[in-house]
Structure 1
Amino acid sequence: MLSQLMVLFGFFALVLVAVYWVNRAVVLFDRLIADGHSAGVFLEFTALSLPGVIMLVLPMASFAAAVYVTNRLMGDSELTVVQATGYSPWRLARPVLLFGVIVALMMSALTHFLVPASVSQLKEREVEISGSVTAQLLREGAFLHPGPGVTFFIRDITPEGELRDVYLSDRRQDDREVTYTAERAYVVQGENGPRLVMVSGLAQTLRLETRSLSTTIFQDFTYDISNLIVQTQNLNLRPRHLATWDLITRPAEMAEFVGVPVSRINEELHGRFQQALLGLVAALIGFSTLLTASFSRFGVGRQIVIAIFLLVLIKLVESAVTDPARNNAMLWPLTYLPSLVGLAMATGLLHLASRPFRRPRGAALAEGAA
């Protein structure tokens, strides 16, 4: 049974990751490619977002695997035969429990190591590309506004990197507006940042007070474009970017570092342990709910709906305890309430599946005949 659970878990996890990852990739593609970034940057960002997607879908994959395997075993009457030999629901739940523990360990590796590292690296890369002159300025056939009061246009970019028919309007000074046009231009790297070298062009200066226009023809002109890009120097780190070990050993220091109260650090730390437990809870809920079903030619559709409803209740409990745990550092035990509620549900369902208060059908018929 454990081997079947692992195989189906891998299948459902692969399908769900593919679906969620494609949706995430479409959003990233629209944002990055539209900003002029290369396909390599897009692939890097989608790869860094993958651990978070996997963490999101693993509990759902464990639930789907437990429901599918249990439904198939019941449909083939294998569980009925095993129960007839004396196996109780508690004993049948052992492989599911072991399966849930394996999923919880996978989730722990994601929540404590891979996801914090990936989101931290993703944040750093976002800051780096926010100041990319090549991505934000070198786009042909579009009027760009890289900064307040600046308009930039390039008609064409040759394979050699030459810019054709360049238009640059600088309206950042209060008393004048300067417009540059050039037949050709090049972007070169200087000591203090990138420079735009314009060749065979015209500079038109409009003085706003006198409304006078002066023109200057130049053969070559160098323009500093490093200050056109507003770079984000502040990483704006959040608790989810921090390593678990730092959250455990230095909660007060980490709270001051990211600018949040200590209660938010505690909620993030214990929330990572809670997320790992959800894989175990989801598998037990799916198995125990289907085990309460009696034989029916209509299958176990009702039990599957009940199992999904129970998972929704667990998520509602999780949503209800999030704000109190974030606002009060002493209420961090509430973070584990969803898992405790789920384990209590699974225990009650297994107890119901053993039917301790139900008399055997044969005894009831014999009593009725008497």
Structure 2
Amino acid sequence: MTRLDRYIFRQLAVALLAVTIGLAALVWLTQSLRFIELVLDRGLSFLVFIELTGLLLPSFFAVILPITTFVVCLFVYVRLDSDRELVVMRAAGLSQWRLARPALALAGGVVVLCYALNLWLVPASQAAFRAWQFEIRNQLAAILLQEGVFSSVGDDLTVYARYRDRDGTLRGILVHDAREAGAPVTILAEAGRITPGPNGPRVTLENGQRQQVERVPPPPGSPPGTAPGSRLTVLSFSENSVDLARASRSEENRYRNAQERTLDELFHPDPAERVPDRDLKRFLAEAHQRLAGPLNALTFGLVALATALTGQFRRHGGGLRLFTGILVVVVLLAVGLTIGNLAARQSRVIPLIWVNALLPGMLAAWVISGLPAWVQGLFTRRPRLPAPDAASAPSP
């Protein structure tokens, strides 16, 4: 790498680092707002908050890096052109690809980094994040209870407390437990307290009623096909306890989504898990998106170079060329999201993931190499010739 290459590459690298960190911090702040309540109102420690939200950063970087690569390459090369530095470099005999070499080196490094994120760091961080969520919902369910709110602990357990005393005692409690299939239980109690239990936190209830709906088989002699009946059982108690932790599910048998799985698990899921066909399509689409996604950094970099190196930005339609480059990347992002959603439902759409990642870069490389004259004329504003003066027109 020559001194000139290092000069351009240094500007690109510094700008990429600053823009990526700034944009990732902004996204992190917006996403972490939903966890602040756990710290302020629910008693979750600040270190756990930092660890929980920090696990989201690898996925942010994997999405942001291709976009910031385009922004940085476009900004730096447009500034070099505005300062006439590119004019001097071209006068020294440097070709378009020689000028593009630092940006291509940067984009190649981003591609390698994105592959490391997509294939290793993002699945590991997502698995750890989901494990934290599972523990908070099941083992730390006590911090999710809020007075005056129906708090869902999982999908089949709901707890309501009218208010909470200063000593932590809950008043006016309702618990709806549907963890036992076919026999939901509703418990009403005057007071209760969150206490530790062998399987996790539990709520100890005082002075209440336990109502359970049980299915009753049809009486003997009923016609065939008679539906079973139901019976309401009411039991009054002075003290009772309900486990808030979902003992029927553990971390070992927790179902993992596509973002948590490694590339090998996406292509070859364990048959013992009995993954539904719908999720198999999602796994296959996720695997191809992980393999094709990092190439967007190189594609977006080539689009930025095609925008910045093939025209001047002070005259001759430079604004139109700049707007076209930005619009192309916005369209590619929108098309990529659409194709990803379609591929998760229809596997035959998966080849379009690779087309969207590779074809725009090839077209941008063709533009950098040199467009035909008729194509260049579409982006060049031709000067208008002045109208002939009637006084100076030759006499017949």
Greater helix share, structure number: 1
Q: Which amino acid aligns with 2:257?
A: R
TM-score normalised to structure 1 length: 0.75
CA distance in 2, matches of 1:252, 1:149: 33
List runs of 5+ in structure 1 lacking aligned partners: 208-212, 359-370
* Whole-angstrom CA distance in 1 between matches of 2:177 and 2:345: 44
2:172 to 167, 170, 173: 167
Q: Which amino acid aligns with 1:106?
A: L
Pairing partner for 2:128 from 95, 103, 121: 121
Question: What residue in structure 2 maps to residue 98 of structure 1?
Answer: 105
Q: Is the 8 A contact 1:255 1:265 kept in 2?
A: no
> Counterpart in 1 of 2:164?
155
Aligned to 1:181: 190
Within 5 Å, which residues of 2 pair with 1:309-324?
A: 309-319=327-337, 321-322=339-340
Assess if the C-alpha contact under 8 Å between 1:291 and 1:353 holds in 2: no
Amino acid at match of 2:148: A
Partner Cα separation in structure 2 for residue 303 and residue 21 of structure 1: 33
Task: Give 2:83's aligned residue.
Answer: 76
The reply on whether 1:11 has 2:18 as its aligned counterpart is yes
Matched residues, percent identical?
25
Per the alignment, residue 321 of structure 2 pairs with 303
Shift of 1:267: 2.4
2:254 maps to 1:235: yes
Unaligned 5+ runs, structure 2 = 1-7, 213-233, 377-396
Give the number of aligned pairs. 337
* TM-score, length-scaled by structure 2: 0.71
Q: Would the aligned equivalents of 1:133 and 1:229 in 2 still touch at CA under 8 Å?
A: no
Indicate the residue corresponding to 1:136 in structure 2: 144
Which amino acid letter does the alignment assign opposite residue 348 of structure 1?
Answer: W
Q: Tell me: CA distance 1:235–1:82, structure 2 relative to 1, closer, same or farther (3 Å).
A: same
Q: Which whole-Å deviations, capped at 9, do the CAs of 1:179-218 have from their partners, x for residues lacking one? A: 5335xx65433445545457xx7557999xxxxx9998x6
CA 1:6–1:229 in 2, change beyond 3 Å: closer, same or farther?
A: same
- 1:170-209 counterparts in 2 under 5 A? 179-182=188-191, 186-191=193-198, 194-196=201-203, 202-203=207-208
- Return the offset for 1:164: 4.1
| Cα distance, 1:49–1:82 mapped onto 2, change above 3 Å | same
The residue that corresponds to 1:38 in the other structure is 44
Offset, 1:39: 4.3
How much is the aligned-residue C-alpha RMSD, in angstroms?
Answer: 4.0
Q: C-alpha offsets along residues 2-43 of structure 1, whole Å, 9 cap, x if unaligned?
A: 11111111111111111211111123435x469836144433
Query: Shift of the alpha carbon at 1:53?
Result: 1.0
Tell me the amino acid that sits aligned with residue 351 of structure 1.
Answer: S
Counterparts of 2:347 and 2:236 in 1: how far apart (Å)?
Answer: 66
What is the Cα deviation at residue 305 of structure 1? Answer: 1.1
In structure 2, the partner of 1:272 is 290
Task: Describe the shift of the 1:237–1:72 C-alpha distance in structure 2 as closer, same or farther (beyond 3 A).
Answer: same
